[in-house]
Amino acid sequence: MATQDHKPDMMKFTPTFHNDTYPYISPTQHNLSGLSVLITGASRGIGAAIAHSYAAAGASHIAIAARKPPTDIATDLAATAKAASKDPPQVLSLAIDVTSQSSIDASVKEVSAAFGRLDILINNAGYLENFIPVAESNPDEWWKTMDINLRGPYLLSRAYLPLLLGAEGGRKTILNTSSVGALIKRPGASAYQTSKFALLRLTEFLEAEYGEQGLLCFAFHPGGVMTELAKVMPAYTHHMLQDKPELAGDTIAWLTAEKREWLQGRYLSVNWDMEEFLAEKDRIVEEDLLRMKLAV
């Protein structure tokens, strides 16, 4: 079976490639007081790291969405904020099923009642099936991956758009956790990589349909992190999972510290050096880079 591995031009859009956080993107340099953010899949791993980065950046309201949110998350985020000399955030724990419309609709009411607004939605909850060729796959398992990775962001974006767009002076931002897997093909990962590919296209549709109303939507690769989810990947891929979750957390908090409209509908990797990435802004916009296209 042919395997398409990471291409240098795909992974190294910037000369510098990071595996861990670094001073330029430190969240402690920002003061995001007043900001409200909701992160799905935030009970551990990358989602939890993103929540801690927002706490260190001073976000006032952080909603933690997961099937089973950790009971001590508010205490942990308060400690992170204190260490960064920031006020502790108001933390809302949401027990939700990202594939359930009724569960998500109920969460919107909770967030609206608790925060009164929402600035940023981060669709981070994900699922990864065992690597199995299509003819040998379990249809229920295959579709579970699609449900969580694609239907979930669709349902969440659909439900939270009114709250996001109605926030006066708000960020009006949706971030979708995609993957470099969307851009490669690895036999056995048909559900996961297809779902992440489709998520990039959904990101572009959100831009097309709501960009004129002020919505900013972009997708990102969170790095190769050895999360519980990633442990089901074949052993021969584990050497690529060397990144720290804090890299994703700090990069995302840094990117959303201001509204960067030029990222609209695009894909980026947290491994890229953000100072070098910003230096490419004009070229990215002029050549319309980092979007899904067919090369002919």
pTM for this model (two decimals): 0.94
Decide if 125 contacts 152 (C-beta within 8 A). yes
**CA 218, CA 168: separation in Å to the nearest integer?**
21
Decide if 77 contacts 91 (C-beta within 8 A). yes
pLDDT tens digits, one per residue of 83-136 = 999 999 999 999 999 999 999 999 999 999 999 999 999 999 999 988 899 999
Q: Is 22 a catalytic residue?
A: no
* pLDDT for position 240: 72
User: Which of these, 129, 128, 126, 131, lies nearest to 235 by C-alpha position?
Assistant: 131
Of 192, 210, 281, 293, catalytic: 192
- Bridge-partner residues for 110, per DSSP? none
pLDDT of 57 > 80? The answer is yes
DSSP code, position 87? P
3-state class (DSSP) for residue 263: helix
Q: Is 196 a catalytic residue?
A: yes
pLDDT tens digits, one per residue of 201-245 = 999 999 999 999 999 999 999 998 767 676 676 677 777 778 899
pLDDT band at 2 (very low <50, low <70, confident <90, very high): very low
Check residues 60 and 294 and name the one with the higher pLDDT: 60
**CA 288, CA 271: separation in Å to the nearest integer?**
21
Of 196, 210, 231, 267, catalytic: 196
User: Which of these, 129, 152, 91, 135, lies nearest to 231 by C-alpha position?
Assistant: 129
Architecture of the 28-286 domain: 3-Layer(aba) Sandwich (3.40)
What size, in residues, is the chain?
A: 296
pLDDT tens digits, one per residue of 4-53 = 444 446 678 999 999 999 999 999 999 999 999 999 999 999 999 999 99
Decide if 202 contacts 152 (C-beta within 8 A). no
* pLDDT for position 4: 44
* pLDDT for position 3: 40
